[in-house]
């Protein structure tokens, strides 16, 4: 990893700017997958959203990102055909503590473990190589097994398990916080 490393590209994917006019309608179709919608929600309640709602929400988030400099949003696109696959979001960063909660949202038929792991690694690389964070975390659970497994494959560790904190599919699930520190990231880079 050095200054010539392309932060916004991986083998199959790229991080791009989010275009509310074009991407919101595609994202709306993703929200019928309530795993995607749950990761979008701020109150833990997953539901399909209209393109109008998503466009308005993303425009507000991008405006806040411009104003504050503490939030970062990327569209994830397939390099081969520029297809919109989802987002990488850093909606909350503490510069005091150099920590962040981030989210990776991948929708539609592209929501495979391989794609998730590839996006997660790009998100973590951005967190540590560019934002210089001490640690970064994301929230999921066994109701999203492919997401949880992708986090583990990317080198993140389960650190917090909040019992019965999520209601999905007619039952309660534990909410799991997966965490990686910059030290662990550097160790992983040296070993690869």
Partner 1 sequence: MNNATFTGKLVRLVVMDLENDPQLLAGWDQDSEFQRFFNDEAARRNSPAQIRKFFQDELACMYSFMIERLEDGRKIGVIDLSGVNWTVGNAWVGIGIGEREMWGRGYGTDAMRVILRFAFEELNLRRVTLSVFGFNQRGIASYQKVGFRHEGAIPGALLRAGERHDLVFMGILRREWEALQQNGQ
Residue 7 within binding range of partner 1, rule CB under 8 A = no
- What mask, x for binding partner 1 by CB under 8 A, covers residues 75 to 94? -------------------x
> To the nearest whole angstrom, how small is the minimum distance from the Cβ of residue 96 to partner 1?
5
Tell me which stretch binds partner 1 (CB under 8 A): 24-32, 39-47, 59-67, 144-152.
39-47
For partner 1, the closer CB: 33 or 137: 137
Residue 43 within binding range of partner 1, rule CB under 8 A = yes
Tokens of 146: 């492919």
The only residue of 10, 135, 140, 144 in contact with partner 1, by rule CB under 8 A? 135
Residue 179 within binding range of partner 1, rule CB under 8 A = yes
Q: Which 3-state string (H, E, C) describes the chain? A: CCCCCCCCECCCEEEECCCHHHHHHHHHHHCCCHHHHHHHCCCCCCCCCCHHHHHHHHHHHHHHHHHHCCCEEEEEEECCCCCEEEEEEEEEEECCCCEEEEEEEECHHHCCHHHHHHHHHHHHHHHHHHCCCCEEEEEECCCCHHHHHHHHHCCCEEEEEEEEEEEECCEEEEEEEEEEEHHHHHHHHHHC
Subset of 153-172 contacting partner 1 (CB under 8 A): 158-167, 172
- What mask, x for binding partner 1 by CB under 8 A, covers residues 95 to 134? -xxxx----------------------------------x
Region of residue 82 (left: phi > 0; alpha: psi -120 to 50; beta: else): left
Site residue total, partner 1 (CB under 8 A): 25
* Site residues, partner 1 (CB under 8 A): 43-45, 94, 96-99, 134-135, 137, 158-167, 172, 177, 179, 181
């Amino acid at each position: 990893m050095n200054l010539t490393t392309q932060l916004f590209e991986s083998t199959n994917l790229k991080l791009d700017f989010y275009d509310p006019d074009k991407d919101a309608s595609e994202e709306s179709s993703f929200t019928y997958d309530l795993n995607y919608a749950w990761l979008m929600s701020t109150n833990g309640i997953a539901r399909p959203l209209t393109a109008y709602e998503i466009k308005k929400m993303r425009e507000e988030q991008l405006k806040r990102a411009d104003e504050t400099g503490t939030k970062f949003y990327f569209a994830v696109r397939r390099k081969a055909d520029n297809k919109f696959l989802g987002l990488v979001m850093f909606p909350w960063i503490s510069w005091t503590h150099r920590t962040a909660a981030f989210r990776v949202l991948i929708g539609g038929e592209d929501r495979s473990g391989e794609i998730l792991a590839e996006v997660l690694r790009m998100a973590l690389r951005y967190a540590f190589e560019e934002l210089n964070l001490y640690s970064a975390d994301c929230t999921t659970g066994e109701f999203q097994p492919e997401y949880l497994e992708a986090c583990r494959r990317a080198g993140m560790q389960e650190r917090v398990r909040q019992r019965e904190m999520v209601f999905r599919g007619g039952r309660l699930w534990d909410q799991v916080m997966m965490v990686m520190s910059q030290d662990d990231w550097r160790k992983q880079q040296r070993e690869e």
